[in-house]
Amino acid sequence: MSGIGMAAALEIADRVERFVREEVVPHEKDPRRDHHNCPTYELVAELRDKARAAGVMTPHILPDGSHLNQRETAAVLIRTGLSPLGPLACNTAAPDEGNMYLLGKVGSKELKERFLAPMISGEKTTAFFMTEPASEGGAGSDPSMMQTKCWQEGNHWVVSGRKAFITGAEGARIGIVMAKAEEGACMFLVDLPDPAIRIDHIPNTIDNSMPGGHAVLTIDNLRIPADQMLGEAGEGFKYAQVRLSPARLSHCMRWLGACIRANEIATDYANRREAFRKPLIDHEGVGFMLAENLIDLKQAELMIDWCADVLDSGEMGVPESSMAKVAVSEGLMRVADRCVQVMGGTGVTDDTIVEQVFREIRAFRIYDGPTEVHKWSLAKKIRRDWKALQA
């Protein structure tokens, strides 16, 4: 991906940062939240109107439809992450951002016109239907365990099965549904809501930054026109990899922005708050925690840039995205934890976003593949590479 040049990307990123800090941050205390304490779609719509007015709606995709490369996207998405509401306002949040990327790479001209255009404009939110209930032996970190089935009947495909942890399914207007046929895994674009997709339960989760939560649902004989298949039958797992490596990295970008902001808040607190006749920052234990934050934040930034360069070279970047996801999520967990610790009692209240960032990063260590799964995948690669050297 050639991109537009880092100088131009940084100009976009600067506009995004001003917008997030000046227009979005004041809404962090907005009471429009659902019963899971997630932002409502009403709030998201209002913020997106402001983003359009500021010229920062979907800022990583240019008006001509071209996409910033991954290195340039990092500069922009980190800035959107400076508030938990920032990615929602700027239309860079999961799962929409990853779904736009996938459809842009794999979708036909007709599917792009029908489904991608309203995604980019921010008019419609989306959901990605892949994960299944663990209690029923369904697919999670191992997508090959997928139990949701699909089969062709005339000029339609029929899908039946169960899905779990489907982010934003409640309220989404477009879905990418993954199911297994005799040919292998398939993906479909569908309009939502659809009576054949029934939300059974939306659990309360440790994170609450995503509207609609993470639903458990049943798909009961969902009929989809054959021309709404994404790509070719049997290629679904390959398309999932097209989406997952950049999507993992995008998560790293957004949550790096959130931890940069949390560290700013903790730093301000440590410089203003006094104990034992001097500011907290002058106590070595506190100062060292903030110093360690700077180190972890810089390492996260460098890992993101390194993985972005790999993806921009045209490589799939599967092992590199696994390494980046582990390093960044674990490093940011340390940052968020220290921010809470530095702020003491204030750090565990909702007076600031620090406690929310801590919760969101804890969930991030699981979403898009737990740390242990990525390490296991890397260990298998180490074994394969060793065997290849012995041949």
Query: pLDDT tens-digit profile of 168-219?
Result: 999 999 999 999 999 999 999 999 999 999 999 999 999 999 999 999 999 9
Domain boundary (174, 199, 234) is at 234
Distance, CA of 187 to CA of 128 (rounded, Å): 10
What is the total count of domains within the chain? 3
Backbone angles phi, psi at 388, to 5 degrees: -65, -35
Residues 182 and 292 in one domain: no
pTM of the model: 0.96
Nearest to residue 225, comparing CAs of 150, 125, 296?
150
Residues 18 and 138 in one domain: no
Domain boundary (234, 266, 293) is at 234
Buried b / exposed e over 250-277, threshold 16 CB at 10 Å, is bbbbbbbbbbbbbbebbbebbeeeeeee
Task: Note whether residue 115 is domain-resident.
Answer: no
DSSP lists the bridge partners of residue 153 as 156
Task: Note whether residue 192 is domain-resident.
Answer: yes
CATH code of the domain containing 224: 2.40.110.10
Task: Note whether residue 29 is domain-resident.
Answer: yes
Nearest to residue 247, comparing CAs of 324, 184, 195?
324
Backbone angles phi, psi at 45, to 5 degrees: -60, -40
Task: Report the sign of the C-alpha dihedral through residues 137, 252, 347, 213, in that order.
Answer: negative
CA distances from 257 to 19, 263, 363 (A): 14, 10, 16
Residues 85 and 197 in one domain: no
Across the chain, mean pLDDT equals 96
Query: pLDDT tens-digit profile of 43-82?
Result: 999 999 999 999 999 999 998 888 999 999 999 999 999 9
What would the two tokens of residue 334 be?
Answer: 């340390």
Domain region containing 215: 127-234
% of the chain residues with pLDDT over 90: 94
CA distances from 47 to 30, 44, 87, 353 (A): 11, 5, 10, 18
